[in-house]
Amino acid sequence: MRAFLIASAALMAFAAAPASAQSGDDPYTGTWAFQTASYGNEQVGGIMSGAAVITRDGRNRYSIRLLSNERLVNRETSQGAFLTARQNCTGVNDDGQFTISCQMAEPLEGYEPDNFVLQAGETDQLVGVLQSNNSSQVTFSRLR
């Protein structure tokens, strides 16, 4: 529960972006929350959530500030770890496929940058796949 509260506080602070950074005409600009499905292997399980602030850089190109919170649990001992990564990313829209490629904004030992391949889902959602150290289904939901 404590980890959830910390993640929620970090998400709210991170998601405070100026309203002018969003456009009703653009399907990607704005503030988004994301959540993956569970992933891992026989030894370690994980889940990731976070926030992304997306601003348009040019035609079909976007700058993205991404904050990811990853919860890892050792399946045998039930010991857990909680990692928070700040990343600077680039988004590219190529005929409805939105690809996000990230670089670490701050080094975090053992953490690889996250990448996503997304497409439009239900209203105000992007759905797709997390592609980094682990792969998992992911859903981005527009906050504003």
- Record the pTM: 0.82
Model confidence pLDDT, tens digit, residues 56-104: 998 899 999 999 999 999 999 999 999 999 999 999 999 989 999 999 9
Residue 112 clears pLDDT 80, i.e. is over it: yes
What pLDDT, on the 0 to 100 scale, is given for residue 84? 96
Model confidence pLDDT, tens digit, residues 9-56: 444 444 444 443 444 578 999 999 999 999 999 999 999 999 999 999
Model confidence pLDDT, tens digit, residues 130-141: 998 889 999 999
Q: What is the DSSP string of 5-64?
A: HHHHHHHHHHH---GGG--TT-SS-EEEEEEEPPEE-SSEEEEEEEEEEEEEEETTEEEE
Number of domain units in the chain: 1
Q: Whole domain around residue 95: which residue ranges? A: 2-142
CATH number at residue 64: 2.40.128.120
Residue whose entry in the numeric block shows the structure tokens 């891992």? 40
